[in-house]
């Protein structure tokens, strides 16, 4: 007699034995394939339910050669924006009957050393990358299995990976347009990391709006706020010291916008009377700052959901084309922007 550490699960064979048929017939019934008489069909289903049969997806995966599982490699799970996207992605996967294996990257590591192997060993059907820091990882594209569908929410060096992102260029454009429409002439920007494409795209859109209005380029009036409140506060101070004529400011994230707000207050500049501020992201608390923040709404949840949708479609069709999808953004007007007060 065998000794078993854990109570065994009931298998299709157990169900078959109890129903007096071969286990293959049981399998047919459970999957609705093949032709089985209504009588045995009902009997088998009854027994399966009585015994509490739960199919073993591991075994099924083995023969089917697909796991119905997506590997999700996340930068920082506790980042509010990323986790929004992850929620969207997970929900979409679930809706389509897929499971999601998540692993997050250590701040220092590139993720290629643990995350990817772990996913490959588990034979995930596709990989979703939700990790901004991977934009800086040059070797990444190299180490990805080229036969495995991959979708990223961020730029991947080499352009060989499909991406789904918000329309960053438009975000920059809308921010500038909004401020220019309110007759601002000297616009400054607190950016995210310069190396990131989202930063570059937003800058480009911003500049495009400026040149459309023949406003002098603000290239010099940009500082890196490193996406942190404190750093942005300091950046804002530097900008205003460099050019006191600034009447409007575009921060590449709401957190940085909040930093800017604090800096402006500390420098005695009222918002929006003396300086307008446009944020980006539309985080929850943006509605609760004082004044409430005008910002660009980035569709994080939708980006995650859309990326997962694309990934699952790639899996279904076997396509590996590195499609690029842009999702629309929109400006949400609150009270941190107003018409420029500097008269001439």
Partner DNA sequence: GAGAATTAGGCGAACGTTCGCTTTCCGCGC
Partner DNA sequence: GCGCGGAAAGCGAACGTTCGCCTAATTCTC
Which residues bind to DNA, rule: CB under 7 A?
8-9, 11-13, 20-25, 27, 30-31, 33-41, 53-56, 59-60, 62-65
Q: Interface with its own copies includes 61 (CB under 8 A)?
A: yes
Instruction: Compute and round to an integer the Cα radius of gyration of the chain.
Output: 27
Among 35, 65, 214, 343, binds its own copies (CB under 8 A): 65
Distance CA 221, CA 185 (A): 12
Nearer to its own copies, 122 or 330 (CB): 122
In the chain, the N- to C-terminal Cα span, in Å, equals 97
Q: Interface with its own copies includes 13 (CB under 8 A)?
A: no
Nearer to DNA, 20 or 244 (CB): 20
- The one of its own copies, DNA, none whose footprint includes residue 36, by CB under 5 to 8 A per kind, is DNA
Mode of pairing for the β-strands spanning 150-152 and 162-166: parallel
Angle at 13 between CA 9 and CA 18, to 5 degrees: 100
Distance CA 257, CA 158 (A): 32
- The one of its own copies, DNA, none whose footprint includes residue 199, by CB under 5 to 8 A per kind, is none
What is the token pair recorded at 309? 């949708």
Using the structure block, give the residue that is written with the tokens 């697909």: 66
What Å distances lie between residue 106 and 19, 89, 143, 251, 293, CA to CA?
51, 21, 18, 27, 32
Q: Interface with its own copies includes 234 (CB under 8 A)?
A: no
Distance CA 167, CA 297 (A): 11
Nearer to DNA, 18 or 60 (CB): 60
- The one of its own copies, DNA, none whose footprint includes residue 11, by CB under 5 to 8 A per kind, is DNA
Among 120, 157, 215, 231, binds its own copies (CB under 8 A): 120
Contacts 24+ apart (CB under 8 A), 100-104: 100/69, 100/70, 100/71, 100/72, 101/69, 101/70, 101/71, 101/72, 102/72, 102/74, 102/77, 103/71, 103/72, 103/73, 103/74, 104/73, 104/74, 104/75, 104/76, 104/77
Mode of pairing for the β-strands spanning 69-74 and 99-104: parallel
Nearer to its own copies, 203 or 258 (CB): 258
What Å distances lie between residue 253 and 86, 176, 194, 232, 282, CA to CA?
19, 15, 14, 10, 8
- The one of its own copies, DNA, none whose footprint includes residue 186, by CB under 5 to 8 A per kind, is none
Q: Interface with its own copies includes 122 (CB under 8 A)?
A: yes
Q: Please, what is the minimum distance in Å from the beta carbon of residue 325 to DNA?
A: 31
Count of CB atoms situated within 10 Å of the CB of 77: 14
- The one of DNA, its own copies, none whose footprint includes residue 67, by CB under 5 to 8 A per kind, is its own copies
Q: Please, what is the minimum distance in Å from the beta carbon of residue 296 to its own copies?
A: 19
Q: Please, what is the minimum distance in Å from the beta carbon of residue 200 to its own copies?
A: 27
- The one of DNA, its own copies, none whose footprint includes residue 234, by CB under 5 to 8 A per kind, is none
Nearer to DNA, 59 or 195 (CB): 59
Q: Please, what is the minimum distance in Å from the beta carbon of residue 33 to its own copies?
A: 18
Q: Please, what is the minimum distance in Å from the beta carbon of residue 92 to DNA?
A: 24
Q: Please, what is the minimum distance in Å from the beta carbon of residue 127 to DNA?
A: 19
In sequence order, the 6+-apart residues with CB closer than 8 A to the CB of 182 are 248, 276, 337, 338, 339, 340
Q: Interface with its own copies includes 78 (CB under 8 A)?
A: yes
What is the token pair recorded at 59? 């075994």
Q: Which stretches within 9-37 are classed as H helix? A: 12-19, 23-31
Q: Interface with its own copies includes 163 (CB under 8 A)?
A: no
Q: Interface with its own copies includes 92 (CB under 8 A)?
A: no
Give the footprint of its own copies on this chain (CB under 8 A): 5-7, 9, 54-59, 61-62, 65, 67, 69, 76-78, 80, 83-84, 86-87, 90-91, 94, 99-104, 106, 114, 117-118, 120-123, 147, 229, 258, 262, 285, 288, 318
């Amino acid at each position: 007699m065998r000794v078993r550490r854990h109570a065994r699960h009931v298998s299709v064979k157990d169900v078959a034995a109890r129903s007096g048929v071969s286990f293959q017939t049981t399998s047919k019934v459970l999957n609705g394939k093949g032709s089985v008489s209504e009588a045995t069909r009902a009997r088998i289903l009854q027994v399966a339910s009585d015994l509490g049969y739960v199919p073993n997806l591991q075994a099924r995966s083995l023969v089917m050669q697909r796991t119905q599982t997506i590997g999700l490699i996340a930068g920082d799970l506790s980042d509010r924006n990323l986790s929004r996207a992850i929620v969207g992605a997970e929900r979409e996967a679930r809706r389509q009957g897929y499971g999601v294996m998540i692993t997050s990257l250590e701040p220092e590591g590139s993720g290629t050393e643990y995350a990817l192997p772990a996913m490959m060993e588990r034979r995930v059907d596709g990989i979703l990358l939700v990790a901004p820091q991977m934009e800086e990882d040059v070797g990444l594209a190299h180490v990805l299995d080229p036969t495995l569908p991959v979708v990223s929410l961020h730029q991947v060096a080499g352009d060989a990976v499909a991406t789904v992102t918000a329309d960053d260029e438009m975000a920059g454009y809308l921010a500038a347009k909004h401020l220019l429409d309110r007759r601002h002439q000297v616009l400054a920007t607190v950016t995210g990391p310069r190396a990131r494409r989202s930063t570059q795209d937003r800058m480009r859109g911003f500049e495009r709006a400026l040149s459309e209005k023949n406003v002098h380029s603000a290239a010099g009036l940009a500082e890196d706020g490193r996406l942190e409140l404190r750093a942005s506060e300091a950046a804002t101070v530097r900008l205003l010291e460099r050019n006191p004529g600034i009447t409007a400011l575009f921060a590449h994230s709401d957190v940085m916008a909040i930093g800017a707000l604090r800096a402006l207050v500390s420098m005695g500049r009222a918002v929006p009377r003396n300086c307008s501020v446009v944020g980006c992201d539309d985080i929850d608390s943006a509605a609760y700052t004082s004044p409430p923040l005008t910002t660009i709404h980035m569709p994080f949840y939708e980006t995650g959901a859309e990326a997962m949708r694309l990934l699952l479609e790639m899996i279904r069709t076997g396509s590996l084309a590195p499609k690029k999808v842009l999702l629309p953004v929109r400006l949400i007007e609150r009270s941190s922007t107003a018409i420029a007060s500097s008269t001439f």
